[in-house]
């Protein structure tokens, strides 16, 4: 029996009385995760850029849901979402993202992939952290190993040269460094909240459909059809990280060859994604760029 057969969405614990926020929950892995969490009894907030699409997605979810607007490429929208929050938030799932798109800028002038995938979620997490009671799960990717596996602090917005693939890899590396430093801060503050990361392997979603290169779009369309696993299988690592008793800073991915597909298990990350010094530096820079500070009352060395 495979790991996927051993653990799947039907094995989720009873989540009655718990609230989860899933960013980018209008399609793909985010929607699949929302469906599973709501099916297990959680109240799920679909945090989406387009509320109309969000409501259409929510109509496919059996359980308690609500739709709230959140544009991670606009820090004013992130602040508005957080300002409207009240009450406990048991699980925050930072799932939304863009991948290998043509050069674009966020409303605040950041390179779109770094600004959306990392900075938007960084700001959202810190603004919501006072309400979080259990864990923060951030969706990264095996693409964090792409390129030279280093954060380009001297060119975070790809002003010198823009490579869609490299910029995506940077943002996914940032997701793991963010998780590492968030867990350090949580631990040192005495908080029981845990920060974890997950990646879906190669899953068939619409994330790949916006690649800058037509050749890349065609290649990924072929791979989605003949190589990738389903979005339901791709959501399992996220659901596993969101509900199972795992150590803080854990990284969950598929257990198959190359971590492309399979059941959820703990996986390794690159050396660059495990560097605490880089993680602290990225955190400081992210605070400066977003103007959002960590709410934990502690002295950070």
The catalytic residues are 168
Using CA atoms, how far residue 295 sits from 49, 122, 127, in Å, is 25, 12, 8
Nearest-10 Cα torsion for 289, 292, 298, 301: 0
Pairing state between β 251-254 and 194-198: parallel
Q: Where are the alpha helices (DSSP H) in 145-235?
A: 164-189, 214-226, 231-234
Which helix (H) or strand (E) is 265 found in, with range? strand 264-266
Q: Where are the alpha helices (DSSP H) in 129-199?
A: 164-189
The residues, any chain, with a CB within 8 Å of residue 55's CB and separated by 6 or more, are 67
Using CA atoms, how far residue 233 sits from 142, 144, 199, 281, 288, in Å, is 16, 20, 11, 34, 37
């Amino acid at each position: 029996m495979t790991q996927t057969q051993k653990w799947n969405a039907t094995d989720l614990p009873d989540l009655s009385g718990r609230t989860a926020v899933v960013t980018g929950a209008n399609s793909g892995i985010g929607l699949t995760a929302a469906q599973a969490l709501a099916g297990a009894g959680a109240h799920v907030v679909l945090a989406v850029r387009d509320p109309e699409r969000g409501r259409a997605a929510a109509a496919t979810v059996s359980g308690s849901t609500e739709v709230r607007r959140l544009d991670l490429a606009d820090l004013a929208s992130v602040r508005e979402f957080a300002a409207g929050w009240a009450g406990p938030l048991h699980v925050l799932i930072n799932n939304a993202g863009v991948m290998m798109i043509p050069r674009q800028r966020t409303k605040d002038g950041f390179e779109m992939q770094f600004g959306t995938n990392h900075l938007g979620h960084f700001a959202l997490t810190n603004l919501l952290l006072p309400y979080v009671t259990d864990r923060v799960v951030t969706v990264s990717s095996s693409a964090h190993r792409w390129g030279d596996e280093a954060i380009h602090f001297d060119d975070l917005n790809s002003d010198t040269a823009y490579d869609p693939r490299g910029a995506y890899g940077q943002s996914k590396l940032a997701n793991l460094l963010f998780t590492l430093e968030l867990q350090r801060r949580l631990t040192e503050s005495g908080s029981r909240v845990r920060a974890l990361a997950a990646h879906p392997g190669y899953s068939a979603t619409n994330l790949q459909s916006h690649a800058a290169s037509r050749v890349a779009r065609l290649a990924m369309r072929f791979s989605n059809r003949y190589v990738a696993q389903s979005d339901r299988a791709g959501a399992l690592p996220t659901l596993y990280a969101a509900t199972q008793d795992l150590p803080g800073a854990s990284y969950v991915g598929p257990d198959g060859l190359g971590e492309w597909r399979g059941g959820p298990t703990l996986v390794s990350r690159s050396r660059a994604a495990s560097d605490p010094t880089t993680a602290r530096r990225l955190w400081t820079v992210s605070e400066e760029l977003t103007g959002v500070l960590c709410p934990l009352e502690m002295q950070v060395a």
